[in-house]
Amino acid sequence: MSTAKVIEIIAEGKSIEGAIANGVKDVAESVHAIKGVWVENTQAIVEGAEVTAFRVNLKITFVVD
């Protein structure tokens, strides 16, 4: 039996998918055995009349060694 832990982060990218990928990539540098990601919230960043980026609140689940 294994134990899992959940951490919450905010990540940004040019698309929603890119923001999720950036968040997972950054966390994977220090956390191993990532098993899943839950997107809790999304936000578009607007400058002028243009959407320039997206932010996502992620809950990342990983197995504790």
| 12, pLDDT greater than 90 | yes
- Helices of type H across 1-65: 16-28
Closest CA to 57 of 4, 5, 6: 6
**DSSP one-letter code for 15:** S
CATH number, residue 13? 3.30.1660.10
Residue 45's domain comprises 3-64
pLDDT band at 1 (very low <50, low <70, confident <90, very high): confident
Reported as a single tens digit per residue, the pLDDT across 21-53 is: 999 999 999 999 999 999 999 999 999 999 999
Q: How many domains does the chain have?
A: 1
